[in-house]
Amino acid sequence: MSKKYISLREIGRQLGVPPSTIIYYKDKFDRFIPSEGSAGRRRKYPAEAIDIFRKIRQMFNDNWSTEQVEQELALKFSLLMDKEMLTQQSSQFSFGGISTDFSQEISGVLVKISDVLENETLFRSEIKVLKDKVETLQSEIRSSEARYKDKIVFLEHEIADLKKLTSSSKQAGGIDFPSLDFLSSPLVICSDGEYLGVQGKGRSHFSLKDFVHLIERKESDIMKVSTSWKRKSRHWVLVVHTQDLEKKREQDIILVAKRTITPSQNIVTEINRLNIDGTDAPDILLLTLFRQLRSVFNG
């Protein structure tokens, strides 16, 4: 029955150890590791060599020194000298009448060449694995950069909107200005004890800032829009003045809102009152307005 032999690559695969580490163990403790193969043949290792490599790996993981590892191997494993085995094999024949010493030198050179080729193959395999990992990381970095660029563009638009709101408030003589949390919280109305808001696509909710932005989008060469804020007790009052130059028509919209904590402990911005040209909007009109906002915001 023939003896089973395996390569260093297979040993590394079974132990889950990188090829470069296996090569290091082989070079460092070669005299303790049985092997077979010479004269240009790739060196192979008997299956029981796996136990030696496993023991070496375990000792290094336990922070043993090289000297301690050698002492342990000397106690537990036989010293199998590949060079002595090659010498015994070479002494049994000669290369066409060439002296035994010279044939031994040739065998030794061929063994070294075989080792170098095997090491090169293992290193090439490890380099390929590393290249694949680098390519994966580069792809992840490119994806992250794209996401961050999108976020930066979004934040720049947000900042521009806030600057515009601040500028409009100052031009109208306003002194106070709502906080970013107040402007960005979900905008809701309370109908029969239930808080109703607008859920949008790609964004979590519709806010007071979004409401103002929709109004200001109407501004054009023939439509002028100005906004201002006033603080009144716990409420914020938004005054929107529109002027249609073509129809020569003006409109005033007053929205009163406050910070509210819902029974489910959500922090929202609640509209308490909406007045258009001096007339308070009834609840049914507010509900209709929110339905229209949902259609616009989701579109």
82 is a domain residue: yes
Segments in the chain forming alpha helices (H): 8-15, 19-28, 49-61, 66-76, 82-90, 100-171, 180-184, 208-216, 283-298
The contacts of residue 60 (CB under 8 Å, 6+ apart) are 69
Q: What pLDDT score does 81 carry?
A: 42
182 is a domain residue: yes
Work out the number of other CB atoms within 10 angstroms of the CB of residue 274.
Answer: 20
E strand or H helix at 276: strand 267-276
Q: What pLDDT score does 26 carry?
A: 92
Q: Using the predicted structure, report yes or no on whether residue 208 has a pLDDT greater than 70.
A: yes
pTM: 0.41
pLDDT tens for 30-88 read 889 888 875 334 678 898 899 999 999 999 999 999 999 999 998 887 544 444 344 44
Among the ranges 109-123, 127-141, 197-211, which has the highest mean pLDDT value?
A: 127-141
67 is a domain residue: yes
The span from the CA of 268 to the CA of 270, in Å, is 6
E strand or H helix at 225: strand 223-232
124 and 178 belong to one structural domain: no
187 and 283 belong to one structural domain: yes
Q: Using the predicted structure, report yes or no on whether residue 101 has a pLDDT greater than 80.
A: no
10 and 133 belong to one structural domain: yes
Mean pLDDT of 254-265: 90
97 and 198 belong to one structural domain: no
Q: What pLDDT score does 93 carry?
A: 42
Domain count, the chain: 2
Domain boundaries, position 101: 5-137
25 and 111 belong to one structural domain: yes
202 is a domain residue: yes
For residue 43, give the nearest of 148, 125, 121 by alpha carbon. 121
156 is a domain residue: no
Q: ∠ CA(59), CA(62), CA(65), 5° rounding?
A: 65
For residue 12, give the CATH number of its domain. Answer: 1.10.1660.10
201 and 108 belong to one structural domain: no
Q: What pLDDT score does 24 carry?
A: 94
164 is a domain residue: no
